[in-house]
Structure 1
Amino acid sequence: MIALLDRLRLLTIREFATHWGRTVASIFVMAVSAAFLVAVIGISGSLTGSVARLAAGLAGNASLEISGVSDAGFPQAVRNDVAAVPGVAAAVPMLRASVGPQDDQLLVLGVDAASAALDSTLKDAVQGDRLGSLLSVPNGVLAGPSAGYAKGDVVHLGSGQVTIAAVVSGAQQQRLNGGHFLIAPLPLAQRITGRTGELDSVLIVAAPGTDAAQLNSAVTAAVAGRALVGPPSLRAAQTGNGIVMLEFIAAMGAGIALVVSAFFIYNTMSMALAGRRPVISMLRAIGGRRQTIVRDVLVEAAALGLLGGLLGSGLGVLAGRYAIGLLPGAFTQMMEARLEYLLPWYAVPAAIAAAVLTNVAATAVAARQVYRVSPVEALAPVGASPADVVSPRLRVFAGVAAVVLAVATILVMRAHLGLFASVALGLAFGTEIAVAFASAGPIVAVAGAAARRLGSAGVLAGVNIDRAPRRVWATLMTVAIAVGMTITITGANTDVVRSARDTFASLADNDVWVSVTPEDAVPTPLLPADMAQRVAAVPGVARVTEGQLAFASFAGTKALLYGVVQGSNYAMYRSLDADTQRRLLAGEGVALSRDLARALHVSVGDELSVQTPSGEKRTRVLASVSYFSALSGTASISLTLMRDWFERPGASTLQIDGAPGTDRDRLAAAIRAVTPPDMHVYTGPAALDGISKAMRQGLVLSRIMLVIVAVIAAMALLNTLTLALLERRRELGILRAVGSSRRFALRMVLAEAAGIGIAGAALGVLFGLSDQFLYSRLAADMMGIDVTFRPGPLLIVFTAAALALSLLGSIPPALRAARLNIVDAVSVD
């Protein structure tokens, strides 16, 4: 142990102090990657954890929950039928409704005296003096600690007014929907929300000694298909189905960031070990074992990874909190619960472990050269040792791996795995890296040839590139990955948004839209019953078309359901042919998005069972269409059937056409004048822009990933060229001593960077276009939409940006080379 500490003090700590810039760069890169991983886990945990926390806070000791198959809930009579089932100690009815603006919504909870049977946060909130206050105040409600109301406040809710009887407080109540809730007696909640006789949930408390399986079976029979029966966690699980895509893409982004970081660490440690060859030679000459030297290097890497992981974890928490606020409103609509930042306990340990393992693994690959360097070879310059040459066997192995990965990519594509088809992107990424490694010699030769085209300084730069193929390949690949990721992410995002926007183009055909939610949210809340008549009476209105959207459950999968009529401009309905539209409006069946049909394992012509508040209904699948439904699957039926089956009268949107010659903006202003202030009135083009905005917001994580990769690439080039400069310091001093100018040294370093940048950018363009094309082929499985591959004019901009990035990273070492002191450089050894 003493010997180990002495070696670390004399060698490792001294190395850290001497090359502190490289140490800081390595820690920074691992910190950025760890921060992204913590942010990703935090976002995912917040999305699922917010719903799970709300469910646990309401359910308490309940063993089963009856929940609605749609936003309409189910008849209150279901509760009475369930309460009579043997083994049911208590059947607690509940109504849940979100009120207020989307960015500050409150959850209204309607409960009755049966809630006393629940051992939950809800029960604690209505105990003691609060219950007396609630019963003694006319139209009284209890407000959560973060609801923003004080005792005695009169609040307008829905179709009536309520009075704040008391404000509940405490840590447990703060955890219930983040403290943003109102608790009302069940009849009052039903009245102010216009849902008399309806419930959203019945929580079942089992009698002691009751068999769980028998109770589940008996309750299911009593419900008779009018609602869903399952554990209280079922609601959270259904919500989770809609956010799997975000979690999956985010996880892939974190993985790619770690891969790019591994390239950086490999490059850095390769150069560091090359610079420490004299020390390694000395240790070997006095009897030091290779295993001991490698172990010390790995301990050094683990220490850097640990420090980077710790720093990155703190940054990741801050980044996650910020990113949560950037998510589109559609996520919160699906969740029902208020989105809170909840960091899972394993986030920080996982990020630290990933940082340490990535650092150690990349360093271990670089440390292989220690086993290939003899005491004599260690004193040779870079390029003169076999350690600087890639083994032919490794190249053959990389070629075989590339073939295997390419075959796996094709098999995954043909398997149509839905969201998990995106695994093919990861396999394709591995294929590209393997091919590039197998072709390392030609790739480095291209970089050297590009440098030689830049004059006499470029000739020397080309020689420097040829002398260190490992270092140049790793640096070049970092640039290539940065360019490839830029093209893939921006190109694929552009393709998806453009293709999805094209499918929603029919929204702009209406002059004006009216809904409760803004144009970038899903309009599921119902409009006031007389809204259509009031709008139809506005001068200049030629036609008002009603429509309805709601989230419904299909065989445990939460999907967005459209209710349509003749003349509806909903994109899914407009994508159907005339005969299918006629059959749909006649109530002969349902149209499904491609991803929902795949999830339900049905195809056109199959019979589909649909649970509704009025019992199970049988219908036929009329069509399976390409439709953007990244958050959940999508279905469409006639508005008549939707109102009948789901007992949800009214409309959630009004599609308004103006009379010929009517100005759209003036018509929207006139309609806005006759609607309540909490309604949203917007033009058809604004509706289409809102959809595009929501999609772009949903892609925020990919843009963050793009920035991270670009930063790592720039640092990799800066670090590599700086280390290369330190290695050649004596050579540069001799060149200056024989008459070379400072400008020549500057041009030589810039030429080397340019050669690496040109080759890396060219390779990155090939990677990026290939991955963008692959993404367009996988989009049908991942998003349910046909995406058209279209390379954009920004391709040239990205390529030029990569070259600029390379030159930018080379400026500090180039300036350092130009300012080199001749005497110090020549006497460095």
Structure 2
Amino acid sequence: MRKLALRSLMAHKLRLALSGLAVVLGVAFVAGTLVFTDTLSRTFTALFESTTADVNVTAASAFDAQGPGMASGVLLPESLVDEVAGVDGVAAVAGYVQSEGVYVIGPDGKVVATGGAPGVGVGWNTDENLGMTLSDGRAPRADDEVVLDETTAEKTGYGVGDRVDVLTPGPRVEATVVGILRFGESGGLAGASLTAFEHTAAQELLARPGTVHGLSVEAADGLDDAVVAERIEEALGTGYDVTTRTEEVEAQKELLEGQLSFINIFLMVFAGVALFVGSFIILNTFAMLVAQRTRELALLRALGAGRGQVTRVVLAEALVLGFLGSTVGLFAGLGIASGLRAAFGTMGLTLDGGLVIQLTTVVASYVIGVLVTLAAAYRPARRAAKVAPVAALRDDQAMPERSLRHRAVGGSMLLLAGGAGLVAGLVQDDTTTAAALVGGGSLALLVAAIVLGPVLAGPFVRGVGAVLPRVYGPAGRLARDNALRNPRRSAATASALMVGATLVSAFSIIGASADESIGTTVDETLQADFIVSTSVGQPFSPAIAEEMRKIDGLSSVGVSRLASAQLDGEVSTFMAADEVTMAESMVLAMVDGEPTGGMLADTATAEDRGWEIGDIVQAVGVDGSERGITLVGTFEANPAVGPIVVPLEDVEQLGGDALDRWLFLEMADGADTGAVRDAAEAVLVDYPVVTVKDQAEFTQEQQAQVGQILMLINAMLVLSVLIAVLGIVNTLALSVMERTREVGLLRAVGMSRRQLRRAVRLEAVLIALFGATLGLVLGVAFGTSLVSVMEGQGISELAVPTVRLGGLVVIAGVVGVLAAVWPARRASRMPVLEAIATA
């Protein structure tokens, strides 16, 4: 039986290729995702391992504001270096200064793009444990000298001796490049840029004179890092975090995994979609193949093969197909991983070295590809086993078809369950629970549509296809009848496209609603004439606000920051705003109390934490400083400000970085708008990453950020549409093979090649329109329901892009035409006599 399965596959190589392509695409995306994320992890892990000292000493913060291994903002006195140097077992120790927000200005006057990766400034240190080695020039010795990393130097063309402008969290610095540094063994910084200053200059710019961010310690030869760390802890006492290289690297890796987990989840979701859609193609393919081989399988039964043997023949074919598809998919996944690496590289995340291929990736690729193929082929295999031996004696034997009654009952029950889930989600107050109910209900509706597909296909094809005979004559009638001949096949083919159409339409609604919500929120919340900020959310120097206040024509300049603190024992990240911002620039829908004079919280947060107007909330900063802040008001949830707003003067007493995020400029009465804007832009000449925008421009900037995410999502969803197109091509091609004799008879009685091609195309269009229409209905239900429950997450307005959704149906029709090109051409070129003679 194994030989029979292999011979059957090899006898139909084209059929094998069409069937296996669905497996290849699904597995390729899974393998590509796993390889890319492993490569991503390896890049950063190697960076951590090559740049972490044997022992690291930092100030203990009151809470972990930024995550393990990241600077807390609490500084150490540099005199601590001598104290640690005297500890037994310490071979060398150096204090380091490092801070983000340092960017090089290129020769074109623009900031050297990092694509979102940080721009880091450090104090030059000769300790190689910090990973910095000179590849050209010398170390900086004066305040106006810097060393650039190799990648930044290559991007800008700067070399030793060139003058360069550098942005820092404080002032803009003009300096001479005196050296080029290599960071770590590979020289890669994963897209970030690194600028090294002379040590005391770095303290002035990035910390405070006489302070450092931490100490890097080299253990003496033969001593375990843990032993040296323990001795340092004993010498220093409390108030310090002392970690070994292993502990620090593990902490960094744990943080990295948490930060990058969304990438893995995001990519794996779409890999799952690809496999889910591909399973319909495999199921449809094997169902048709079994139907075409009815007589062959019946002959096997007549020769004594049992039902189990026939089932195993079909499953053996599926096993071979799954193995071959997984093998090709694994290699194709390397190409996808390379493409992902290049795409993320353009956004600043540069991954150095080759791709990482782990055994788990190989195993997962084969397991997933083979299991999906076997699962999809199981039902057709069971049907094949039910072929009666007497069928071998008949020419018109068809596979037994079960009634659609069970599908109608089961699908209706799923439909009711899905509808109940959506309704329950819409009336649920808790956003997380509501989203889960809507997601579960939507999934139930999707499965219901798949189950009910054959039941719905008949009425749809009859209704939409009624116009085809009138417009296209016999070709239109033949197309309609062929689509009606096997509603299960038509529905299974359309299901692949339906899944893609559902997701595309749902995300189109979410995207349009997000755009509308951003515009509404900005209009209703911000009253400022101009907003000063960076497009990537980076903080900037408070000196900008001071300069803005000197501009004639401005009545006020409001300042807002992001800050972290423990509020009543719970770590919180919130907006810190001054009195001007809350009194003049922002409008909140107050539920109780006043918008100024103390801390504000939205009603949900106040209720969750048990806060009432007049309560004093105990705040603890990263440096351990404490302060009681009075809650003076509650407001309706507003995504523009977040759940909590704390007065800026209170936050300044809690430590942390004093860097602004947004400035709100109010025009004085009668001031010239153009002149004020020109003056504001003149202030920002020395800060190219900071821009001034009116409300419309600020709204567009926020919408563009959401649009980039949705564009990436829709680009990934194109994969499911491409697989759906493959499904239509596959089904039509096999359908033409199945109807070879019928095609020959049609040609013999006078049907032209053109009419035959048209019939195949129209059949494809009917199937595509059915899938797209069903997907559109489901997508609208899913998208509108999800928007309704996401009001507390910032999407408060529902917008249905009717033109875009209508275009989706038109595109589906075009997809049907394109998918039918090759099958239609193949059908029209069949030799008439050979087709008629086909058994």
Q: Same fold (TM over 0.5)?
A: yes
Partner of 1:280 in structure 2?
A: 297
Contact 2:294/2:398 (8 A) holds in 1: no
Deviating more after overlay: 99-108 vs 715-724:
99-108
Partner of 1:360 in structure 2?
A: 374
Distance 1:319 1:108, change over 3 A: same
Contact 1:34/1:309 (8 A) holds in 2: yes
Is 1:134 matched up with 2:127? no
Note the alpha carbon deviations across 1:532-587, whole angstroms, 9 max, x for none.
343333344343323334577889999764321234289995335286553xx423
- Post-superposition offset of 1:431: 1.2
- Post-superposition offset of 1:727: 0.9
Distance 1:80 1:549, change over 3 A: same
Partner of 1:788 in structure 2?
A: 798
Distance 1:145 1:741, change over 3 A: closer
- Post-superposition offset of 1:167: 3.3
Note the alpha carbon deviations across 1:487-529, whole angstroms, 9 max, x for none.
11211222123223322336874333334x3xx22141224x2
Partner of 2:108 in structure 1?
A: none
2:52 to 55, 59, 67: 59
Is 1:147 matched up with 2:152? yes
The correspondence of residues 71-150 of structure 1 with structure 2, limited to 5 A, is 73-77=73-77, 80=80, 93-100=96-103, 101=111, 103-104=113-114, 106-110=119-123, 120=129, 122=130, 124-125=131-132, 133-134=138-139, 142-148=147-153, 149-150=158-159
Distance 1:708 1:241, change over 3 A: same
Partner of 2:693 in structure 1?
A: 683
2:578 to 543, 546, 565: 565
Identity of counterpart residues, as a percentage?
Answer: 20
Note the alpha carbon deviations across 1:693-728, whole angstroms, 9 max, x for none.
111112233111221122122221122112112211
- Post-superposition offset of 1:45: 5.9
1:602 to 609, 612, 620: 609
Contact 1:130/1:142 (8 A) holds in 2: no
- Post-superposition offset of 1:396: 5.9
2-structure distance, mates of 1:509, 1:477: 49
Is 1:521 matched up with 2:536? yes
Distance 1:76 1:170, change over 3 A: closer
Is 1:692 matched up with 2:703? yes
Is 1:638 matched up with 2:647? yes
Is 1:303 matched up with 2:300? no
Gaps of 5+ in 1: 225-229
Distance 1:470 1:283, change over 3 A: same
- Which amino acid letter does the alignment assign opposite residue 193 of structure 1? L
2-structure distance, mates of 1:218, 1:291: 74
Q: Classify the secondary structure of the residue corresponding to 1:760.
A: helix
2-structure distance, mates of 1:380, 1:464: 23
Is 1:318 matched up with 2:338? yes
- Post-superposition offset of 1:435: 1.5
- Post-superposition offset of 1:807: 3.4
TM-score (norm: length of structure 2): 0.79
Note the alpha carbon deviations across 1:805-827, whole angstroms, 9 max, x for none.
22332344334434443222212
Q: Classify the secondary structure of the residue corresponding to 1:503.
A: helix
Contact 1:547/1:651 (8 A) holds in 2: yes
1-structure distance, mates of 2:741, 2:663: 77
2-structure distance, mates of 1:263, 1:570: 59
- Which amino acid letter does the alignment assign opposite residue 146 of structure 1? T
- Post-superposition offset of 1:201: 4.7
- Which amino acid letter does the alignment assign opposite residue 492 of structure 2? A
Q: Classify the secondary structure of the residue corresponding to 1:521.
A: coil
2:457 to 439, 444, 454: 444
Aligned residues: 786
- Which amino acid letter does the alignment assign opposite residue 622 of structure 2? T
Distance 1:653 1:628, change over 3 A: closer
Contact 2:560/2:578 (8 A) holds in 1: yes
The correspondence of residues 235-314 of structure 1 with structure 2, limited to 5 A, is 247-288=264-305, 289-314=309-334
2:545 to 532, 543, 568: 532
Q: Classify the secondary structure of the residue corresponding to 2:122.
A: strand
- Post-superposition offset of 1:474: 0.4
Partner of 2:106 in structure 1?
A: none
- Post-superposition offset of 1:96: 2.5
Note the alpha carbon deviations across 1:200-238, whole angstroms, 9 max, x for none.
4556889866699999999995259xxxxx956556655
Distance 1:469 1:217, change over 3 A: farther
Contact 1:643/1:650 (8 A) holds in 2: no
- Post-superposition offset of 1:261: 1.5
Deviating more after overlay: 168-177 vs 432-441:
168-177
2-structure distance, mates of 1:608, 1:249: 38
- Which amino acid letter does the alignment assign opposite residue 145 of structure 1? E
Is 1:779 matched up with 2:786? no
Partner of 2:488 in structure 1?
A: 470
2-structure distance, mates of 1:664, 1:52: 51
TM-score (norm: length of structure 1): 0.80
2-structure distance, mates of 1:669, 1:817: 69
1-structure distance, mates of 2:681, 2:671: 15
Deviating more after overlay: 408-417 vs 657-666:
408-417
- Which amino acid letter does the alignment assign opposite residue 752 of structure 1? E
- Post-superposition offset of 1:612: 2.6
The correspondence of residues 379-778 of structure 1 with structure 2, limited to 5 A, is 384-386=398-400, 388-389=401-402, 427-450=440-463, 451-455=465-469, 457=474, 458-505=476-523, 509-515=527-533, 517=534, 520-527=535-542, 529=543, 531-549=544-562, 561-568=574-581, 574-577=587-590, 582=595, 585-587=596-598, 589-591=599-601, 602=609, 604-605=611-612, 607=617, 609-617=619-627, 619=629, 623=634, 626-628=637-639, 635-649=644-658, 651-660=660-669, 662=671, 664-679=673-688, 680-684=690-694, 685-778=696-789
- Post-superposition offset of 1:293: 0.6
- Which amino acid letter does the alignment assign opposite residue 720 of structure 1? T
Note the alpha carbon deviations across 1:47-87, whole angstroms, 9 max, x for none.
77666555444434347765773788113249959978999
- Post-superposition offset of 1:763: 1.7
Is 1:12 matched up with 2:9? yes
Is 1:801 matched up with 2:811? yes
Q: How large is the Cα RMSD of the aligned pairs? A: 4.7
Note the alpha carbon deviations across 1:82-137, whole angstroms, 9 max, x for none.
97899996795542334213623642223667x67xxx4x2x535xx899953867
Contact 1:64/1:231 (8 A) holds in 2: no
Q: Classify the secondary structure of the residue corresponding to 2:490.
A: helix
- Which amino acid letter does the alignment assign opposite residue 525 of structure 1? F
- Post-superposition offset of 1:655: 2.3
- Which amino acid letter does the alignment assign opposite residue 252 of structure 1? V
